[in-house]
Structure 1
Amino acid sequence: MIELDSASTALVLVDLQKGILAMPTEPHGGELVFAAGAALSARFRAAGAPVVRVRVDLGPNFADAPSSLVDQPTPRPPGGLPADFAEFPDDPAAHGDLIVTKHSWGAFHGTDLDLRLRRRGVRTIVLGGISTNVGVESTARSAFDLGYDVVVVEDACSGRSAEMHAFAFKYIFPRLARVAVGADLHFGRAR
């Protein structure tokens, strides 16, 4: 069990948006990850803790996408991404959540996420999202470097393959964070 303080903890959900949720993921499908994120969000809101929903928006014709030379570039479908790629699925309870739009892998790079968390007194972030070894891992690494305590929720994450997901949870996250499942998280004191 991991006890959280609602006065200093935020939930950060990475890329649980229409265009990403529609892609195949393993070991958990997008619908399951979204449901796990929604359940965590409800618990955080009830405790008075901030919920941050992060989305990636690469711009029209990928104008805002990183353009580094790499061996395996991110696929760019002909005709671009669907118009609703960066939209969040409808969630009436989400009104009041913090929204962060990123243009790269990690939620901290090029955004005001760190500033917004620190102004709210956040010292611990709980992470979930898709893809485990891309957006979630990049965000966890940056959060660790910035001095946050990090918790990564396995059943609220999924990757492009079960192997990449398992590798991150076995070898990467234990060096950067505490690893948990959603049922392990409890708030110790109310705001």
Structure 2
Amino acid sequence: MPSYEQLAEQLDPATTVLLTVECQQGVVGRDSALPELAEVARSSGALHHVARLVDGAHEAGVQVLHAVAERRPDGRGASHNARLFRAAARLPVQQLTGTTAVRIAEPIEVADEDLVVRRLHGLSPLAGTDVDALLRNLGCRSLLVTGVSANVAIPNAVFDAVNLGYTAVVLSDAIAGVPAEYTPAMIRNTLAFVATITTTDEVLACWKRRPRRVRPA
């Protein structure tokens, strides 16, 4: 874990963006396409911690960006080059554009100033989307990564962020994967080598000690 001083420097609200990954109703909600993942995200407290972080970011003036995975009803542009995509296409709940499945799940509150980026293909919320350009325009240097899943999208986001020159910060209690025991092992053996690992309480404590910053429109 970094020292408080190191973490506070990395989490400057002026240069930090909080990213939520696939925290949508069709993934972590009550009617999820992936009920095992949804159960772990809720029972572990990860989804609750994401909501706390989002609320704290709003209070501190930290930009929040929600990354949503979806597909068109006709499937145009969707990826088909991996087993995961083919399996997802057969699930009873589909992440279709415009449906409740792609709305941000409770208890996360979406504010007017939040950005929502929707992708129709691939595994990463950064690669092939508008996220990198938006982060650069926002002056982002540190990207806080939360959400699901620790199996696929979270490591993709972290590696892409590092390759693009951002400091990746992973909230160990605000990500989830299946089985539940996989997440801490993946953090310890993989993400800890490339990202700052911290917790929700530590991040919120850093932000509370700083005066609120209002980002320009």
Provide TM-score, normalisation by structure 2.
0.78
**Does 1:25 pair with 2:37?**
yes
Kept in 1, the 8 Å contact 2:15–2:141? The answer is yes
Which structure is richer in relative contact order (CA contacts within 8 A, separation 6 or more)? 1
* Whole-angstrom distance in 2 between the partners of 1:78 and 1:122: 36
Q: Partner residue of 2:68?
A: 55
Distance apart, 1:28 and its partner CA:
3.9
Residue aligned with 1:46, SS? helix
The count of aligned residue pairs is 191
Q: Partner residue of 1:40?
A: 53
In 2 relative to 1, CA 92–36 (structure 1 residues): closer, same or farther, beyond 3 Å? closer
Residue aligned with 1:35, SS? helix
* Whole-angstrom distance in 2 between the partners of 1:29 and 1:69: 24
Indicate the percent of aligned positions where both proteins have the same amino acid: 24
Richer in helix (by share) = 2
**Does 1:5 pair with 2:12?**
yes
In 2 relative to 1, CA 35–147 (structure 1 residues): closer, same or farther, beyond 3 Å? same
Distance apart, 1:74 and its partner CA:
3.5
Distance apart, 1:162 and its partner CA:
2.0
Provide TM-score, normalisation by structure 1.
0.88
Kept in 2, the 8 Å contact 1:18–1:87? The answer is yes
* Whole-angstrom distance in 1 between the partners of 2:184 and 2:86: 22
One-letter amino acid of the structure 2 residue matched with residue 20 of structure 1: V
* Whole-angstrom distance in 2 between the partners of 1:30 and 1:15: 14
Kept in 1, the 8 Å contact 2:79–2:85? The answer is no
* Whole-angstrom distance in 2 between the partners of 1:130 and 1:11: 14
**Does 1:156 pair with 2:169?**
no
Task: Name which of 62, 68, 72 aligns with 2:81.
Answer: 68
Distance apart, 1:88 and its partner CA:
1.6
Unmatched runs of 5 consecutive residues or more in structure 1: none
Q: Quick check: 114-123 or 179-188, which moved more?
A: 179-188
Kindly report the root-mean-square deviation, in angstroms, between the aligned alpha carbons of the 2 structures. Answer: 2.5
Q: Partner residue of 2:114?
A: 97
Kept in 2, the 8 Å contact 1:16–1:88? The answer is yes
Deviations 1:55-91 (A, max 9, x none): 0012225444311155995333266616422122365
